[in-house]
Copies of this chain bind each other. A is one copy, B any other.
Amino acid sequence: VQLTRRRIIAAAMDLIERDGIQAVSMHRLATELGCGLVSLYSYVPSDSALLDGVADALMSGFKLPPVGARTWPEQIREQVRAFREMARARPRCTMVVVNRPPSSAGMLRPVERALATLREAGFCGQDAIRIIRAVIAYVMGSVLGEIGVAPGLDAHDTEKRPLCLRPCEFPHLTALATELAVSNPDADFEFGLELLMHSLAAMQPTRAAAS
């Protein structure tokens, strides 16, 4: 079985998803792959480069939804939903992406696509960039809140005690405890997405003349 950069990164992704990011290390990865520790360094120059590779691999495997004959707001919505689906399917690997600056072409492909969608809809470059940045911020923050808080993703499975609050200091939070406990991540995500999309739809430029 030949050692490859591809194989190393795939093993790292499996390990991250199985045991958490804390469990990943060069030593562990080497034993997992049954190869010498030092051999890894000829394919992956460092720890940090390994995580860049994981982020790139994950985002490259992320299939953008087909363009089809949809309106631009629906195209944006679909793309954002697809990203969130990936986050739910591979939460721990996605956290690596979220915490890493875009360091490779694979991570920018969805941005390019969104840019194309918005330019085609008639937005100028400046507006398209701003819109994408806002949407990315919302999506990243949602994913962070949704899966970053999930149990076991942090170190040591810290038993999350319910963190009981003094009602006198937190009257509203304690009053809404039951509403806060039952959460519907899908509905919450769609709600915030609609807030953004509703304002964006109102911003839609009048399409220049013909074609």
Residues of A within 8 A of B (CB): 46-48, 98-105, 108-109, 111-112, 115-116, 119, 125-126, 128-130, 133-134, 136-142, 144-145, 148-149, 154-156, 158, 160, 163, 165-166, 169-173, 175-176, 179-180, 187-188, 191-192, 194-196, 198-200, 202
Contact = CB atoms under 8 A, between A and B. Distances in A.
A95 B77 CA distance: 28
A9 to B, nearest CB: 17
How many protomers of this protein does the assembly include?
A: 2
A37 to B, nearest CB: 19
Contacts of A188: 130, 133-134
B149 A101 contact: yes
B99 A148 contact: yes
Contacts of A199: 194-196, 198-199
